[in-house]
């Protein structure tokens, strides 16, 4: 299950569980601006591609809450 991390690893922008975010296969997480403009869809950590993070349906957020662990680089 995806962690749905709460922030962009590059600029530390808060990311709501239903916001536009991008992840790599290791779940490095970036806001749309950083993923598209700064990293050109390539993860700066692993060099893998960044894809849009899926949205978890609101009715499942209580049962499967997003992560509260913040990661920055």
Q: What is the per-residue pLDDT for 19?
A: 92
pLDDT band at 6 (very low <50, low <70, confident <90, very high): very high
Half-sphere exposure (CA, 13 Å, Cβ side) for 1? 9
58 phi and psi, to 5 degrees? -55, -35
Residue-wise pLDDT tens digits, 22-69: 999 999 999 999 999 999 999 999 999 999 999 999 999 999 999 999
Q: What is the per-residue pLDDT for 73?
A: 84
User: What CATH number does domain 1-63 carry, 3.30.70, 2.20.28, 2.10.110, 2.40.50?
Assistant: 2.10.110
Output the furthest CA–CA distance in the chain (Å, rounded): 34
| Predicted structure pTM score | 0.92
Decide if 39 contacts 50 (C-beta within 8 A). Answer: yes
């Amino acid at each position: 299950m995806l962690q749905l991390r709460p922030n962009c690893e590059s600029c530390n922008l808060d990311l709501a569980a239903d916001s536009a975010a991008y992840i790599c296969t290791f779940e490095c997480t970036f806001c749309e601006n950083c993923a598209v403009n700064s990293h050109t869809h390539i993860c700066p950590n692993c060099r893998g591609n960044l894809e849009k993070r899926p949205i978890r349906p609101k009715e499942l957020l209580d049962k499967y809450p997003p992560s509260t662990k913040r990661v920055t680089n």
